[in-house]
Amino acid sequence: MLAKYSIFILAFSLIAFAGCSQSQNQSAKLNQKKMNLKPLTPEEERVIVNKGTEAPFTGKYDKFSDAGTYVCKRCGTPLYRSSDKFDAHCGWPAFDDEIPGAVKRIPDADGMRTEIECAACGAHLGHVFKGEGLTPKDTRHCVNSISLEFVPGSGPAATDTAVFAGGCFWGVEYYMKKIPGVISTQVGYTGGKTDHPDYKQVCSGTTGHYEAIEVVFDPAKTSYETVSKMFFETHDPTQWNHQGPDWGDQYRSAVFYRNAAQKAITEKLIAELKAKGFKVVTEVLPAKPFWKAEDYHQDYYDHKGTTPYCHGYVKRF
């Protein structure tokens, strides 16, 4: 009797397990159908699903420089802009920035590297490295060509990003959000030596970081020069280590350029101000890692319902 009962339990468990597996498979198929994921070849699946790596110097986008956008091979989500691609001489496509929110970073199974995935569908892209000094942003997304598709486009990028430091980042953000064509802003810390700093650390003056803002804008609706002019006209670029009543090295005035064009525009505007008699002390520095500030700092004046106490608009151009 006991033997028969045991056989019954085992049979029931096998049926239940099979049913569960079938249900999971059906759920996965439904999710794939919902996302309209592209069917993959065995080699694509080896890299994209099973986290493999294509051989170096064999990918179609390694030595490729056309203007356009790189999208996820599996789900079509835009991941990288051609303007952020550079030749790292490593054998795989390299990018020093991604389209905001498109790429997810996770610890690699090897315990040492950082893996990157498509944030939308989880497709394996490659790995991201920092500290190599290859570009001003000091970041290299090492991506398998097989994980990407290229969408050509000769027009301007869908978005561009500017990074400024001009005293308390609450006030700078308040005015940047008013520019037509600005898509999003976030305040944070950059320019220093400490990874993942918090507000208390930055205020201590030991990190070297600036209070800064990252501005994402639509180049079809506004320009880097327009955004930069707002920066120079809503803080005092002649004040060093302070803005109004706020004192400290985190309040230094600086522009963190992301490419040669941004640097040239910034230097032109500073030259114009100096020609008008302004003793500009604003630093012009290559972009460094940007660390987002705590949530309570984001959109501060919108939540508080007041206006900045140390920033105001003064026409200078």
Beta strands in the chain (DSSP E): 68-72, 78-81, 85-86, 94-95, 103-107, 114-118, 124-130, 139-143, 148-152, 160-166, 182-190, 210-217, 242-243, 246-247, 253-257, 283-286, 291-292
Residue 304 DSSP label: H
Q: Measured between alpha carbons, how far is 207 from 202 in angstroms, rounded to an integer?
A: 6
Give me the pLDDT at residue 15, please. Answer: 38
Closest CA to 316 of 289, 279, 287: 279
Share of the chain above pLDDT 70, in %: 87
- Predicted confidence (pLDDT) per residue in 123-171, tens digit: 999 999 999 999 888 999 999 999 999 988 755 556 788 999 999 999 9
Closest CA to 258 of 190, 194, 317: 190
Closest CA to 286 of 185, 168, 190: 190
Alpha-carbon torsion angle 260, 170, 243, 224, nearest 10:
20
Quick one: pLDDT band at residue 237, thresholds 50, 70, 90?
very high
For residue 193 the two structure tokens come to 């030596």
At 113 the three-state DSSP class reads coil
Quick one: pLDDT band at residue 42, thresholds 50, 70, 90?
very high
Q: Measured between alpha carbons, how far is 208 from 57 in angstroms, rounded to an integer?
A: 39
The answer to whether residue 288 scores a pLDDT higher than 70 is yes
The answer to whether residue 31 scores a pLDDT higher than 80 is no
Higher pLDDT, 56 or 27: 56
Q: Kindly list the catalytic residues.
A: 142, 168
For residue 265 the two structure tokens come to 């525009």
Q: Measured between alpha carbons, how far is 78 from 65 in angstroms, rounded to an integer?
A: 17
Burial readout 108-145 (b: 16 or more C-beta within 10 A, e: otherwise): eeeeeeebbbbbbbebbbbbbbeeeebbbbbbbbbbbb
77 CB neighbour count, 10 Å cutoff: 17
Average pLDDT, the chain: 86
Which domains does the chain show, CATH number per domain? 42-152 (2.170.150.20), 160-304 (3.30.1060.10)
- Predicted confidence (pLDDT) per residue in 180-205, tens digit: 999 889 999 999 999 999 999 999 99
